[in-house]
Amino acid sequence: MKKYGLFMVAALVLLALAGFAIAAEKIWDKGTPTVFVGFGAGGGTDTAVRPLIVLMQQHLGETINVVNMPGAASAVAAEHVMGLDKDGYSMFATGSGCFGGFLITETSTQGVPWNWYGFHHIQGPAAFVVNPEKSGINTVEDAIKALNEEKASVGVSSLGAGIHGFVEAFAKAAGVEKKINYVTSGGDGKTCVSVMAGEIEIGSISFSAGVDYVRAGQLKVLFLNRRDPFVVSEAVTIPPITDLGDAYKNIPDLAETWPVMIPRDAPKPIVDKLQEAFIWACEQPEMKEFAEKMGYQVITRYGEEADRVLDYQYAAYAWVLFDAGMADISPEKFGIPRPENWDWSKEKAKYGY
């Protein structure tokens, strides 16, 4: 009996050691990390971010939870994550166009770009979608006319999001004089359904959320915010916004990205590990295949480059929103330069470079 007892004790000790070894190897040894996605499940941001997270956790060999926390162009989620401990267990994911509205619409004081360290895997264009059968809007001219006659509402997932800023930039270029009537839907997918059902005349979405409706012939895309045409199928080619005329050439090429962001103060070992996993994930064939199917482009952007691009978008969107009267406070008050005066060498100090 004694022999068995000793054997048992030895086995237990071994098990405990193995347990310690496994625990020591884990990046998040106290629990499961969570990414809070600032928009609803199945929306544009959600579908863009999840594949990245899945590939990253495959590389890390650990589970990362994903929680959808929609609200106020993801300001709710940003504030939430910033309010938690910056221990590397909580991350945030959103569209890059959302940051511009945080300070000037007083939705989030903490969620500004320089408080985060971001991983941007893909970029994709914004699109104007319509349902000609229900709304009678078939061309860009129809859309401008309807907006000027206040006969069209524009659906956006959330006010202050990148696609909202895009509508304002478009309206300015197109010379729309009337104030645009927005209807929020909570997600790009829902915007598509509302346009399809004829509830809303025009939808401004990130293209990936609507690409299937376009393939199925249920929605029509008027144009994409990119510099060259996009071929959906043999029959359907979508023109870029720059084809519409010279006025539109000044709309900044703010191709939206959907970064996974971790608070900049998070422990460095965790950030480094994430970065390694991120680079690995972007190289996987699954990522390329996914991007191709959805009309995205893999960019693998991180570090200072990511901060630089995001900071420019941040400034551009902030001013677009302010000029459109969507914010009471001028970006100037926060020292946000107009896009034409923006200079990275001046801005980068706040990122700690």
Partner 1 sequence: MEYLQHIANMFVAMAQDPWIIALIFGGSIAGLVVGVIPGLTATMALALLINISYGMSLMHAVAFLLSVYVGATSGGLCSAIMINIPGTPAAAATSLDGFPLAKKGMGGLAIGTGFIASFIGTVFSILIMLTLTPVLYLIAIKFGHWEMFLLALFGIMICGTLSTDKDPIKGWIVGFLGFALSMVGMEEIYAYPRFAFGSLQLKGGIPLIATLIGVFGISEVLSVLQEPVPYKIEGKIGRVIPPFNIFKKLIPSTLRSGIIGVIIGAIPGAGEDVGAWLSYDMGKRRSKDGDKFGTGILEGVICPEVANNAVIGGAMIPLLTLAVPGSPPSAMFLAAMNLHGVRPGPMLNIENPAFLPMVGVALMFASLAMVFWGLLLAKPMVGMLKIKREILLPLVVPLTVIGAYSGGIRIFDVYLMLFAGVIGYVLRQMDYPLAPLVLGLILGPLADVSFRQALMQSRGMLLPLLQRPIGLVLMVAVVWLIWTGIVRARAYYRKMDTLDASG
Partner 2 sequence: MNTERKTVSEAGEADRKETKQFRAKPLAGADFITALALILFGTAFYMCASNMKVYQLFFTSPGFFPMILGVLFVLFGFVLLYTSCKRGGFTDAKRIVSGSNIKRSIASPVFKKGGIVFLLILGYVMLLGKASFVYLSMGYLFLTLLYLRAAKWYWIIVISVLAPIGIELVFVNFFRIPMP
Across the strands, what pairs with 9?
none
Q: Which does 60 bind (CB under 5 to 8 A by kind): partner 1, partner 2, none?
A: none
| Residue the block writes with tokens 């914004």 | 126
CA–CA distance, 34 with 16 (Å, rounded to integer): 27
330 binds partner 2 (CB under 8 A): no
Terminus-to-terminus CA distance in the chain, angstroms? Answer: 67
109 binds partner 2 (CB under 8 A): no
Site string for partner 1, 145-164 (x = CB under 8 A): -----x--x----xxx----
80 binds partner 1 (CB under 8 A): yes
- Work out how close the CB of 32 gets to partner 2 at its nearest, in angstroms, rounded to a whole number: 6
Q: Which does 54 bind (CB under 5 to 8 A by kind): partner 1, partner 2, none?
A: partner 1
DSSP codes of every residue in 257-282 = E--EEEETTS-HHHHHHHHHHHHHHH
Please provide the size of the chain in residues: 353
CA–CA distance, 293 with 281 (Å, rounded to integer): 17
Containing H/E element for 117?
strand 116-124
- Work out how close the CB of 105 gets to partner 2 at its nearest, in angstroms, rounded to a whole number: 9
Q: How many CB atoms lie within 10 A of CB 247?
A: 12
CA–CA distance, 324 with 337 (Å, rounded to integer): 17
**Closer CB to partner 2, 63 or 330, in the complex:** 63
**Among 181, 237, 250, 330, which residue sits at the site for partner 1 (rule: CB under 8 A)?**
181
CA–CA distance, 104 with 205 (Å, rounded to integer): 22
- Total number of residues that touch partner 1 (CB under 8 A): 56
Tell me phi and psi for residue 186, to 5 degrees.
95, -10
Site string for partner 2, 21-40 (x = CB under 8 A): ---------xxx--------
Which positions from 163 through 202 interact with partner 2, judged by CB under 8 A?
Answer: 179
Tell me phi and psi for residue 93, to 5 degrees.
-135, 140
**Closer CB to partner 2, 69 or 219, in the complex:** 69
Instruction: Tell me which residues touch partner 1 (CB under 8 A).
Output: 31, 34, 40-42, 46-47, 50-51, 54, 57-58, 63-68, 70-73, 75-76, 79-80, 83-84, 105, 107-108, 150, 153, 158-160, 181-186, 189-190, 193-194, 196-197, 199-200, 212-213, 215-216, 218, 290
Residues lying near partner 2 in the complex (CB under 8 A) are found at 30-32, 63, 179
